Amino acid sequence: MIRRFKYVLFDMDNTLLKDLVVSVVATQKGFTKKLDALLESSIVSHEKNKEIALLMKGMSCGELLDIFRTIPIQDYAEDVIIALKKKGIRTGIATNSYLFLAEDLRRRLGVDDVYGNTLVVRNGVITGELLLHNTSLEKKFDGCRMHPICKRSIVNRICEAYKISPGEVIAVGDGRIDICMLETAGLGVAFNASFEVQQHADISTNDLRVILKYI
């Protein structure tokens, strides 16, 4: 039997992890009100991310990493990734959060690839500057929200790198930023997602083990 799927691309916050990274940091560092005001504002997505990064200016890279490591990994995430590896299926993380944090999670879980925004650090201290993964902030299609990371483009990049088609990719995520990859992939999995996101996915679940039924 020919296996259809060859790659699984996961969101990180509230998907592989049980919380939103910036929310946990805000709670620990006391800027929850400022964060909430930004999240609820009408500022365009990529500018909002830059403003959020400024809230972490002056923190040490090590302190942020320590806080990040307190966030629990999602139930069954480790088991699912181990099972995928045994099947020869590659995995990746595409996150609107910070690349060096996602790299840390990649190493802990044994994920193959990682994509995220770069939080600039100098001499071990966060400068507040953010380098967006999406360097082409233009509408790529009708309804494009020009997110800081374009997960649709990442699916296509993965397909080019591994010589597979979007139909051979499973995408898993919970937020509006994940909608494009859920629609582009051969199987879009809305995980603990709102009704709006579920409308753009092939299946909806609150159990990551469901993925294993499709491989």
Q: Is residue 2 part of a domain?
A: no
Amino acid at 115: Y
Q: Is residue 71 part of a domain?
A: yes
Q: Is residue 56 part of a domain?
A: yes
Half-sphere exposure of 150 (CA within 13 A, CB side): 15
Residue 145 has pLDDT above 60, yes or no: no
Tell me the CATH number at 90. 3.40.50.1000
Q: What is the DSSP letter of 71?
A: S
Q: Which of 88, 63, 96 is CA-nearest to residue 6?
A: 88
pLDDT at residue 152 in the model? 93
Q: Is residue 28 part of a domain?
A: yes
pLDDT at residue 1 in the model? 39
Q: What mean pLDDT is reported for the chain?
A: 93
Neighbour count for residue 168 (Cβ, 10 Å): 19
Whole-angstrom distance, CA of residue 34 vs CA of residue 55? 8
172-189 per-position pLDDT tens digit: 999 999 999 999 999 999
The mean pLDDT of 108-113, rounded to a whole number, is 98
Whole-angstrom distance, CA of residue 93 vs CA of residue 169? 13
Give the confidence band of 133 by pLDDT, cuts at 50, 70, 90.
confident
**Does 145 or 74 have the greater pLDDT score?**
74
Q: What is the DSSP letter of 60?
A: B
Q: What are phi and psi of 23, to 5 degrees?
A: -70, -40
187-201 per-position pLDDT tens digit: 999 999 999 999 999
Residue 59 has pLDDT above 50, yes or no: yes
Domain count, the chain: 1
Whole-angstrom distance, CA of residue 204 vs CA of residue 172? 10
Neighbour count for residue 126 (Cβ, 10 Å): 22
Question: CA dihedral in degrees (166, 172, 175, 177; nearest 10)?
Answer: -30
Give residue 60's domain range.
7-214
Q: Is residue 69 part of a domain?
A: yes
In total, the chain counts a number of residues equal to 215
Q: Is residue 169 part of a domain?
A: yes
Residue 143 has pLDDT above 60, yes or no: no
